[in-house]
Amino acid sequence: MKIGVPKEIKNNEYRVGLTPRSVQILSNSNHQVYIQKDSGAEIGFLDEHYENAGAKILTSPEKVYELSELIIKVKEPIPEEYKYLNENHTVFAYLHLAGNKKNAIDLTSTGISGIALETVTAEDGSMPLLSPMSSIAGQLSIIVGSYHLLKPYNGMGTLIGEIENIDPRIVTVIGAGVAGTEAIKKAINNKAYLKVIDLSKEKLKDLQKTFGNNNIEYIESTELSIEEALKVSDLVIGSVYVLGKQAPKVVTNNMLRKMKQGAVIVDISIDQGGCFESSIPTTHDNPTYVKDGVIHYCVTNMPGAVPLTATEALNKATLPYILELANKGVDLALKENIHLANGLNIKNGKVVHSSVREALSL
């Protein structure tokens, strides 16, 4: 199969769809890989590394798309790339269609088959290709949240950490999936007082068994419980995810107005539209804005801040699926693997994933 890896062009996006090692494995299976020039240069994957692994280096995105059948990306194609796409392409990437209806419809109109990494499933109901990036985003949320609590960055001027004879600061995590659990671990390491909020009583019980009760509250999610937690929180992490759908707005503007001045919220769910009513997508160049005195961090590609780690983690998860698509052909691979087929969001000019169609009101 002819496999293309265009250079990512989203703001501050230095991740790349395939590592040289992944290219070597695909080349050894008699697949031709085309890499756009300098796609991995910012994270140390040089063109010569790709050439040594068997890839052909192409100077333009247009040529990569023209020669390739299977397109491996990290982030969803953006409008500048639509002109290169057509019905001969299968795009394997994070698509996050529910987060932007206009882009979803425009991307669908290109005619591509689109397999979304975030809706590929596993036997246990988990999302194995979303998980590594969620894990990274969860860890980063405490780092960036703590950073923006500093006074020079408009925060209240407090430290999430253990200071002798001073009460610990309060961190609230809403949604205890993969990202939320990683945020919890990081907050515990930083000696914060934690409020963990989730809809699932079973999830909360499991977390209690894992992390104990020292400086942690486990709270069933309701409007009232969220509002009460927000009133006293210094840092709030939103990590609510519903497969294929837009994230529910669990924090309203009315709740926001009751938060402390200079508090920080980090919306990990922003790729799916965000779980705070006040969330607006931001970039690594301009990651925050202030609304009602609360700093909002809503960067849509958080793991892009650690592109080398993120690329290596992503490739470990995606390579078996890429090999399956390449070795069998897309149609047969989807037919024989129901979990991979759950990733199919777009085909023949239509959104075909039921949850995504519902989220987009199609």
Give φ, ψ of 154 to 5 degrees: 80, 0
What residues have CB less than 8 Å from 13, skipping those under 6 apart? 74, 75, 301, 304, 307
d(C-alpha 302, C-alpha 68), whole Å? 28
d(C-alpha 259, C-alpha 228), whole Å? 9
Query: Could you confirm whether 47 is annotated as catalytic?
Result: no
Cα–Cα distances in Å, from 42 out to 10, 13, 14, 39, 306? 14, 10, 6, 8, 11
For residue 131, give both structure tokens: 């998980």
DSSP string, 277-290: TT---B-SSS-EEE
Residue of 234, 267, 271, 296 marked catalytic: 271
Closest Cα partner for 139 from 314, 361, 325, 309?
309
Query: Could you confirm whether 271 is annotated as catalytic?
Result: yes
**Are residues 315 and 308 in contact, defined by beta-carbon separation less than 8 angstroms?**
no
**Are residues 21 and 28 in contact, defined by beta-carbon separation less than 8 angstroms?**
no
Residue of 31, 49, 89, 96 marked catalytic: 96
Provide, for the chain, the percentages of residues in helix, strand and coil under a 3-state DSSP scheme, each rounded to the nearest 5.
Answer: 40, 20, 40
What residues are annotated to the active site? 96, 271
